[in-house]
Amino acid sequence: MEETSGRADTSQEEPIPSLIGEDAENNYRIWKKNAPYLYDYLSTNSLLWPSLTVQFFPDITHADNEVAGDYILQRLLHGTFTLGQSVVDSISILQIPTYTNLNKHIQIDKLDYNPDKEEFEVNAPSLPKPKVLQKINQYGDVNKLSYMPQNPNIIASANNFGDILIFERTKHKSFQKSIIDDIEANKPQLKLGTKAELFAMDWNKNREGYLVSGDTKGNISLYDLKGYSKSGGLSEAKYWKSKSDVNDIEWFPTHDSLLGYVEEAGCLTIQDIRGDVISKQLTSAINSIAINPNISTVLATGDSTGSIKVWDMRNLNEPVQSFTPHSKPITQLKWNRKHAQVLASSSTDCSVKLHNVSKEEPTIFQHLGHMLGVNDFDWSYADDWMIASVADDNSLHVWKPSQQVQNAI
């Protein structure tokens, strides 16, 4: 297992989380000792502020040098959540190096025992440290980030003021010239105003420029950015009202007019933007929806009790699978891009868990390295089993479970 640690950005004093209890710290130490047996790759990084959102970019750069050998560079998108403690918040693009074949670089006969950690450490050649490639400032907490699939340089940022800010990242400097400039917000290429704070937002994967959002007042807005002009601006292509707060929204990956969203009132809705609607009322608040990219009729929902339900959209009377892997509310669900039966979930119980939903006992792995609630995670494009996760303890982890777990599917 490769294990690295570092700080992704140290341009200002880091706020120290005060909510980490003694039990959480003890659990972290136990997890740390066992980590070499659990992971094929693990990188732990400390951010200046917590991030509510993280997303891998699809591009992969292959690199090589005499010290580190062959490795790849991946880009990650994340943002700050400062609750007004900073003059501006920011969107960051982070470059993460990972080995393509770690086994070639590990020297098993050169293990060092660390008495402070009470564990053996693997001496692998040092990779370049993670670094920030670009930082774009904005006003308001970064609640949700998403780049346009057809053009990843177009980034949408949803904030706590009810704004969706659209940035064309190539039209912004990588960094501000001075500390004084760094307290000023970058001007977005486009600003979309919604009715209330929002956390739910998604780009259409088949129609370029189609962006849908849902806010905490139940307002759902659909925008066609291709219809924007400097003289006429941009109007909502469609607008409708849900029963309650919209917690998550997602387009079906193989359909240009079909989307699903979930609400605080426990309602799951499948909406055809051409008119048809299917709804299912559940008993608990639903926090997340994930539509399977490999089987487009299959979707999953995660609720405030820590339960996951897997549905066939052709029959929403009963879920095809239901289980409760978390002890606290679920914050995110995402299907593996390659393995149709593998679903990942995160929760405020500090964990990210992997599940094989075709099994009677679905959970096959749990990542327990965060000391506060996990806000978001994403699957890598470079490696089918690699995940990046962010939590309220200011941590960003990039990790891959052991080969034994991968073989379990």
**Residue 283: pLDDT over 80:** yes
Which one, of 139, 136, 137, lies nearest residue 169 by Cα? 136
In the chain, domain spans: 22-408
User: Hey, what CATH class is 22-408 in?
Assistant: mainly beta
Model confidence at 313, pLDDT cuts 50, 70, 90, reads very high
Could you tell me how many residues make up the chain?
A: 409
- CA–CA gap between residue 377 and residue 302 (Å, rounded): 14
Please check whether residue 204 is in contact with residue 211, taking contact to mean a CB–CB distance below 8 angstroms. yes
Per-residue exposure over 137-161, b if at least 16 CB sit within 10 Å of its own CB, e if not: bbebbbbbbbbbbeebebbbbbbbb
> If you average pLDDT over every residue of the chain, what do you get?
89
Q: Which pair of structure tokens corresponds to residue 301?
A: 């929902």
At 49-63, the pLDDT tens digits run 999 999 999 999 988
**Residue 8: pLDDT over 60:** no
22 Rama class: left (phi>0) / alpha (psi -120 to 50) / beta: alpha
Task: Please report the pLDDT score of residue 232 as a whole number.
Answer: 63
Q: What is the sign, positive or negative, of the torsion defined by CA atoms of 393, 46, 75, 160? A: positive
Provide CB contacts within 8 A for 179, sequence distance 6+: none
pTM over 0.85: yes
At 86-107, the pLDDT tens digits run 999 999 999 999 876 655 444 4
Q: Which amino acid, 97? A: P
**Residue 38: pLDDT over 80:** yes
**Residue 400: pLDDT over 50:** yes
Cα 167 off chain centre by: 19
When pLDDT is averaged across residues 392-396 and rounded to a whole number, the result is 97
**Residue 317: pLDDT over 50:** yes
Please check whether residue 286 is in contact with residue 279, taking contact to mean a CB–CB distance below 8 angstroms. no
At 155-178, the pLDDT tens digits run 999 999 999 999 999 999 988 655
User: What is the percent of the chain where pLDDT is above 70?
Assistant: 85
